């Protein structure tokens, strides 16, 4: 899942980029509020991690701008402001969650995954299609009860397809959801990922299919 990280501390920003990327997120990063607004006006992120004490444009102003656009982005505020009034103000302004610094990376990741499920309208971490099951909380996929050996990108692709089950997802759309803005690859990499994923699903005995609708995209039935 692609997310926007807004954090002015270079050390923390770069550390979070690495940690979140290793957890399967595609991360775009902004060092100030003005850069965050440019990112948010260019792409509707499923998730945003937002610091409040930002240069150029304050985090609360970024949050107000985001909610004024009425996009469904789930916002987790990550701030050193630990007073109850700060948390209440951010939640009242439209934040979906609030985590105080310092924090544990595992907790941040768990909260982001929970917000991601809410973004997709899921009420559970379990996704399924026939004899294929995916546990988005544990990051495990199984087919016919046996674990699938998927790469992080293959897993992320499968998760997006399951969330969008029955809908045609274009190659460009899949690329946007799996790769950050600095990715050097082209959207043709989706064809390679799809081929590898299909091969593993077929070898595992999956009873469903991922249809390629030429000129439109892919749909998991």
Q: Show me where the domains of the chain are located.
A: 2-117, 126-220
Per-residue pLDDT at 209 = 92
2-117 folds as Rossmann fold (3.40.50)
pLDDT digits (tens, 9 = 90+) for 87-109: 999 999 999 999 999 999 999 99
126-220 folds as Arc Repressor Mutant, subunit A (1.10.10)
Segment 209-215 shows an average pLDDT of 91
Instruction: Grade residue 124 by pLDDT with cuts at 50, 70 and 90.
Output: low
Instruction: Annotate 185-207 with b (16+ C-beta within 10 A) or e (fewer).
Output: eebebbeebbeebbebbeebebe
Per-residue pLDDT at 123 = 56
pLDDT digits (tens, 9 = 90+) for 53-86: 999 999 999 999 988 888 788 999 999 999 999 9
């Amino acid at each position: 899942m692609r997310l926007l990280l807004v954090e002015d501390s270079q050390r923390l920003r770069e550390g979070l980029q690495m940690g979140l990327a290793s957890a399967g997120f595609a991360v775009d990063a902004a060092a100030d509020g003005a850069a965050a607004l440019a990112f948010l006006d260019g792409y509707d992120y499923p998730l945003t991690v937002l610091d409040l004490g930002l240069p150029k444009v304050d985090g609360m102003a970024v949050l107000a701008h985001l909610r004024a656009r009425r996009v469904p982005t789930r916002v987790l505020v990550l701030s050193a402001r630990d007073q109850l009034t700060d948390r209440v103000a951010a939640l009242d302004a439209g934040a979906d969650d609030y985590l105080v610094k310092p924090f544990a990376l595992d907790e941040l990741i768990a909260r982001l995954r929970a917000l991601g499920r809410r973004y997709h309208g899921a009420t559970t971490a379990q996704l399924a299609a026939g004899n294929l099951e995916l546990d988005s909380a544990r990051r495990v996929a199984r087919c016919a009860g046996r674990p699938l050996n998927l790469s992080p990108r293959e897993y992320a692709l499968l998760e997006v397809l399951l969330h969008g089950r029955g809908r045609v997802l274009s190659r460009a759309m899949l690329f946007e959801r799996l790769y950050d803005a600095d990715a050097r690859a082209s959207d043709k990499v989706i064809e390679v990922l799809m081929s590898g994923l299909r091969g593993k699903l077929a070898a595992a005995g999956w009873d469903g299919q991922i249809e390629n609708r030429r000129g439109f995209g892919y749909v998991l039935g």
